[in-house]
Amino acid sequence: MAPSIIPDRELITIATDIFSAYPSPVMKANPLQPFLIRQGFVMLDGGLATGMEKHGADLDDELWSAKMLIEAPELIRQVHSEFLEAGADIIATATYQASFEGFAHAGYSSDKAEQLMRLSVDLAALARESFWAETSLRHERLKPLVAASIGPYGATLHDGSEYHGNYDLDKQALIDFHRPRMNVLADTDADLFAFETIPSMLEAEALLELLTEFPGKSAWLSFSCRDGASVSHGEAFSDCVQMALQSDQVVAAGLNCTRPEFVSDLLGSVAAGQEKPLVVYPNSGEQWVPENNQWSGEHCESIPILEWYGKGARVLGGCCRVSANAIRNMRADLTAHTREQSGI
């Protein structure tokens, strides 16, 4: 069942203060809970790469957004700040396409790769602290979180295979691939992992098994989906979500980098009454064409965020091609809706 919204401002403040002063085991397992109690939702950021491209960054590279960790780290921090100011409660690090194998292929040593992964968290944390120091910006906000982005194996291949998941790897091979960077990112100030754009149940199972090696860490897990019923590899979305939510360390599950037109049906396929929130952050509706390394198709101008909220999504935002301004509008719509519901 989705957390209810406390209708009294004073009670909301008291509840938040209690969570801050006396972190319970529940809060440790679910860092999203204070946001859900106070706001009724958690606002994610949008497309980090999209934000950097708007500032002129050329990301046509096998490292994609991780390339900027080398060439323009301050730009990453700037885009994080833009999403925070737009209303994001969580910003995701520039590590989606960062891996030891990927950096090695680009000519960087293991030591340099680890340094860059740690830098990604430092940049997000610095943006968060700068935002929080500006009291005029944090009005009625809780201190944002930093999520360490863990993209799928296919992202490292730089061929769009995160949108089908046909890797020809078994579960152990996937565990072995993900473990080194998770070891690094677990030893940072990131508040939780974001397992993103996962195309198959097999890779999700690998990540969840690996997560147990980090008992103090939590994560959300979101799948890329090919239609209104299935994840990219073909398994039923509802089965994948139910499997993910069974993990004690998973605080939310759902979808990302999926066309908005599929979201309502996908949410409708998941059984009602989930104890944990569903996460939804689709792309703009365009599709990635790996043959020419660009997006094609129509940009979705209207995001039915309140419809998805009504279907149980509580952790919401955007993925590729979704701007800070879109996040600002989503937050405004959700805030107005939840306040109306609670009589505030």
Does 235 reside within a domain?
A: yes
Domain of residue 85, CATH code: 3.20.20.330
Does 211 reside within a domain?
A: yes
Helices H, strands E: what count in the chain? 15, 10
Q: What is the tally of structural domains in the chain?
A: 1
Query: Which of 322, 323, 309 minimizes the C-alpha distance to 42?
Result: 309
Task: Supply 197's token pair.
Answer: 């754009």
Does 71 reside within a domain?
A: yes
So what's the pLDDT on residue 43?
98
So what's the pLDDT on residue 57?
77
> What is the extent of the structural domain holding 72?
43-342
Q: Which residues of the chain have pLDDT under 70?
A: 1-29, 284-302, 344
Does 2 reside within a domain?
A: no
Does 28 reside within a domain?
A: no
So what's the pLDDT on residue 8?
39
Per DSSP, the residues of 252-295 read EEEEESS-HHHHHHHHHTSPS--SS-EEEE---S-EEETTTTEE
CA distance 307 to 287: 23
Sheet of 42-43, strands arranged across: 42-43, 313-316, 278-281, 250-256, 219-223, 192-198, 145-150, 90-92
CA distance 323 to 88: 11
- Bridge partners (DSSP) listed for residue 279: 254, 315
So what's the pLDDT on residue 45?
97
So what's the pLDDT on residue 321?
76
Dihedral sign, Cα of residue 181, residue 183, residue 189, residue 191: positive
Does 33 reside within a domain?
A: no
Query: Which of 279, 270, 166, 176 minimizes the C-alpha distance to 228?
Result: 270
So what's the pLDDT on residue 344?
63
Q: Which amino acid, 223?
A: F
Does 295 reside within a domain?
A: yes
So what's the pLDDT on residue 161?
85
Backbone angles phi, psi at 325, to 5 degrees: -65, -35
CA distance 305 to 232: 22
So what's the pLDDT on residue 252?
98
**CB contact at 8 A, 66 and 104:** no
**CB contact at 8 A, 127 and 83:** no
Q: How far is CA 50 from CA 60, 116, 289, in A?
A: 12, 20, 16
Per DSSP, the residues of 170-204 read -HHHHHHHHHHHHHHHHTSS-SEEEEEEE--HHHH
Does 335 reside within a domain?
A: yes
So what's the pLDDT on residue 25?
38
Q: Which residues contact 39 (CB under 8 A, 6 or more apart)?
A: 5, 89, 142, 334, 335, 338
| Coil, strand or helix at 124 | helix
pTM: 0.88
